[in-house]
Structure 1
Amino acid sequence: MAIDFELTDAQKKLQRSARAFAKDCLEPVVRQADLEPDTQKAFEMMRGPYREAYKLGFAMGFLPKDYGGGGVSNVDLQLVAEEITAVDPGFATILLVNGLGLMPLAWFGSEEQKRKWIGEATSDPTGEYLAGWTVSEAAGTPGGTANFDHPAGQSAGISLTATHDKGRGEYVLNGRKYWPCNAGGWDLKGANVNVCIVRTDPNKGGKEGLSAVLVPRGAPGLSFEQPISKLGHRLCQNNSIIFDNVRVPEENLFAQGNGDLIISKAFTWSGPVAAIAAVGVARSAYEYVLDWSKTYTAGGNRPIISHQAVGYLLADTAMKIEACRAFSWKAAHYLDKYDSEGHAIGAMSKVFSGELLFTAVFKTMQAMGVNALDKKHPLERYLREAAVFPLYDAGNIGMQMRKIWGVMMDPDFDPRAFADCAPITFKKSMEGAGLELVA
């Protein structure tokens, strides 16, 4: 059959391995780490599980085999991600961000850059290698990142500058970043490498003036403030970073003038993973409340699962989980087929699943009633984690919906392409939807 949802023996083995890791290695430390008020300490508590994840191939397995990675397909990544996010999506984000940072290098970097940087990432003997995805910037006027593709020059969009010092063969970085994940490293002195989106031409807009640069750990002038304290995903580290005349070799620059395409494609690659992360969290909430409802009577003489209201709520949640899992797999399959050139469907899966399953998690809480608010149960944490999905990973109404809109506006867009699994080539003309240069 052309369409087959049955997992292969290899996929079942991969799923079992991820499930065992999540239950035996990750779950025992999650609750205490989530309650830790110091955000950096909470992140550091993930160091042990991370080493084990690295050993199992979960930290770098999605990188190309040619450079030491596992070459894992996007569909296989779905199986691993669901099992880990069902226990903690914040930890899963640490793993995912290695891909957000290093997959752009695989797509846009030179052969020398790939062998050096991806090779280092996949062969770390300590198993602690971290790559930072350093794009987002602080809110302000101007400020923020959602309009990275704005046609204006440095007055809008990305403001971290990289000035070419040709005499010394270096780029000099100045500015700030806010929200990047993994960037501070385990000791808040820097990830092994930060892949930074920078403005290399202050006079050009977001479709021409942006590039990417690799900033190694220990670069002089780079400093990190205390990580951001967040509502959910507390176990991943989000940083506030200051660049003060940070100098890096000019050979560390890549995708010059195409930093916008890196942003668009990276957040396309992560879209189905964010979608399956929503499935993982909703699955955990649903299974917990389903078990509860089969024993708890609420003072009646039958378990509450016997009442139609509870049964309907849980049935509705189960249907949404299955629908979103299928959509996540379909989007991942599409990305596998077209080398992650699935900008609209990747975004669609992320937006649809995150929005739908946030509501589904809350519905499970309604089935459980006021007891869901008691922190001895995990429901309040599941709700906090679910609240992140519509807001992070390029934000649903910040970038992802606008990316879908931009693809659909193209004169050559085929509305049946996704049903037919036909290719859609992403073009710079599809960026900047809704933006215009005001005199």
Structure 2
Amino acid sequence: MSESNTGDGTTENSAVRRPADWEADRLRDLASEFGTPLYVVDPDRVRQNCERLLGAFPDATVDYAVKANTARTVLETVEDAGLGAECASAGEVRRALDAGFAPEEVRYTAVNPPAADLDAVVEWWREGADLTVTVGARTTLDALAERGYDGRLCVRVNPEVGAGHHAKVTTGDAPQFGVPFDDATDAASAASEVGEFVGLHAHVGSGVSGDDLSAHEVLVGRMAMLADELDESPEFVSVGGGFGVPYRREDPPLDLDAVADATRAAFDCDARLVVEPGRYVVADAGILLTEVTAVKETAETTVVGVDAGMTTLLRPALYDAYHEVRSLSASIDDRVPTSCLVAGPVCETADVLGEERVLPEPKRGDLLSVGTTGAYGYEMASTYNSRPRPAVVTLDGETVARRETLADLTRLEGGEQS
């Protein structure tokens, strides 16, 4: 199996990094040292993706959608590269501030924010964090006013156009996201009465590429038109992110320059353009390593049991998402290619990482890699089935998150709530 890399586990700054571009020897060493399942993240690749985004959007503000990957190493790399932070929860705001993002570069964009989140964000604002709060409902404005917040406000608008890689992440036309388009002008006026109205925000969906890009262009045009119609012109208009990445080997990389050109062409207004990519920054900067624990021949297929599953990587079970699975075993040249069902250790039919995947004849103890897992991989991991979450390390072998233990699973049980 070829390794199209530079020999030290890094790749040139190409538009996409495929699973085969990771150095197999290095991944085997990390699995041997840290065990499996194991997430590996490459900060150098994160930086390359940030640089590519800044190059494509030189006249815009590029904010990282923190929810894609909140690891401190990732956030510090993104901040150092010059991106801002778009946060979906108080926890993400705290992580961004702790990672070094200047408060004025942080936006809190929550959907139906819990009271505890608003309490925390407003308290940090009182302490001097001059961040921006994005509201998607008039009642959220009321909740902020009740807490004495009169800082920077952005209004999230439902653009009535959506797209994405799955119905569950298509947000632009879903009613829970943003004030109705026809109510946007009144919502902006109401925001000005509570605090300093500074921006508009909308997001078409996640994993947008190919034909879906036309929906993104429509959104950009609608938001630019809205900005020009307001009595008070906003400082910025955020048109979201959602830029797709190729998860399948045969999928072409996103033409980011073409996306940027189309975005600029549709953005006909005087406000500053803001984009909020998340997946594009980190997806191909991460990979998941897992060990084969069982091999079972059935009439339908060869079942390959592995120690990673839906508690490790939820996307296949939740979104029917595709991730390339590759064998990293050192001696596979003499093995017969075999169609396999790669399944995890959870007793649910959904716990499948890949179906009809052709692998060299699998054996117990083989090491497999699951590609393009830097976005929404570890972030969505859980302790369902009382399974500890995996460790996360950098390609250089630095620990990002230690492996949870069985003792960690019960650490919060009992005792008094602080």
State whether TM-score is above 0.5. Answer: no
Task: Decide which structure has greater helix share.
Answer: 1
- TM-score by length of structure 1 reads 0.28
Q: Could you say which structure has the greater relative contact order, defined with CA pairs below 8 angstroms and 6 or more residues apart?
A: 2
